[in-house]
Homo-oligomer: A and B are copies of this chain.
């Protein structure tokens, strides 16, 4: 358990002040005009004594923890774990470490995660927020610690955010179904007020409108986050067992698509003959479906890159440019396949 060697240990060992050692370690020997032989001696001692800086002390002194706090709905959801992975890579490159937490679509959990992160002095937040957390985000902003929303956002609320063009791409997706000759198109979405989802429903409506297809409330199926399996099942069964014909469906997320597809398989509905499908995002599962699904492809890599870029920029400019926020929209694209 040989205690870790500190700056002081090296200084004592060499009979010099800690200041010298600190300068050399941080490669500031130039600025501090440390003697060349002193530099050599110190560098050697650093190696000999296997010195490892205590980053906690450094953080306390510098006020920078070099830590990013990540909050998503659920890190075990493939969509978010992929985002987490990409954030990790980008952050590491820049000398940051990522701490993560899952809010489970629960505003209280979100708040408690934020509190923990604040107390731990994270340098910045990347959050995919949950309903009713506007004030939490606002509170972070007030502290002056940068926060960038990713994927999800609040349209009436000024924040830095990075997301895709949900509405437009959804419109395109549904238009694709219409182009394939479908006229009775349903959508399966979440029961939520979050804009990234309602935008998708909006896009759906707009596509119908554009092509003069009358919207029908029954064709809009909503599942709650908390009872998703049961809800999807019920909604889908209602939809396909109703008197209303359905020959196309748009899934607003891949989790919904995975569950929805199961029902479709269970009902023995033939894709694409009886039903054409477009989904959001990819899933391993889709590859096992006999008709490869058409889907909306978001470039998560780019999404993350923009988010980290923006966050780091904010961290560096600090307190300046308060109250001036940026929205980055990454273009998603439609990949059409057999479904």
| A60 part of interface (Cβ distance < 8 Å) | yes
A101: which B residues are within 8 A, CB to CB? 88, 92, 97
Q: Who on chain B is nearest to A112 by CB?
A: B92
With A57-B60, A284-B285, A285-B287 in contact, do A99 and B102 touch (Cβ < 8 Å)?
Answer: no
A99: which B residues are within 8 A, CB to CB? 67, 97-99
A4: which B residues are within 8 A, CB to CB? 143
Q: Mark A299-334, 1 if CB is under 8 A from B, else 0.
A: 000000000000000000001001000000000000
| A262 part of interface (Cβ distance < 8 Å) | yes
Min Cβ gap A21→B in Å is 16
Tell me the chain A residues, 78-92 only, with Cβ under 8 Å from chain B.
78, 81-82, 84-85, 88-89, 92
Min Cβ gap A40→B in Å is 24
A65: which B residues are within 8 A, CB to CB? 56
Min Cβ gap A89→B in Å is 8
| A269 part of interface (Cβ distance < 8 Å) | no
Number of copies: 2
Inter-chain CA distance A102–B76, complex, in Å, is 15
A116: which B residues are within 8 A, CB to CB? 92, 97
* Residue pair A319, B74 in contact (C-beta under 8 Å): no
| A120 part of interface (Cβ distance < 8 Å) | yes
| A49 part of interface (Cβ distance < 8 Å) | no
| A258 part of interface (Cβ distance < 8 Å) | yes
Inter-chain CA distance A142–B85, complex, in Å, is 30
Inter-chain CA distance A59–B322, complex, in Å, is 30
The answer, among B54, B56, B74, B85, for a CB contact under 8 Å with A102, is B85
* Residue pair A100, B84 in contact (C-beta under 8 Å): yes
The answer, among B53, B84, B89, B284, for a CB contact under 8 Å with A283, is B284
| A267 part of interface (Cβ distance < 8 Å) | no
With A98-B99, A261-B288 in contact, do A121 and B84 touch (Cβ < 8 Å)?
Answer: no
| Max count, chain B CB within 10 A of own CB: residue among A74, A92, A100 | A100
A98: which B residues are within 8 A, CB to CB? 99-100
Inter-chain CA distance A287–B261, complex, in Å, is 10
Binding site for B on A (CB under 8 A): 1, 4, 52-57, 59-60, 65, 67, 74-78, 81-82, 84-85, 88-89, 92, 97-102, 115-116, 118-121, 143-144, 258, 261-262, 265, 283-289, 319, 322
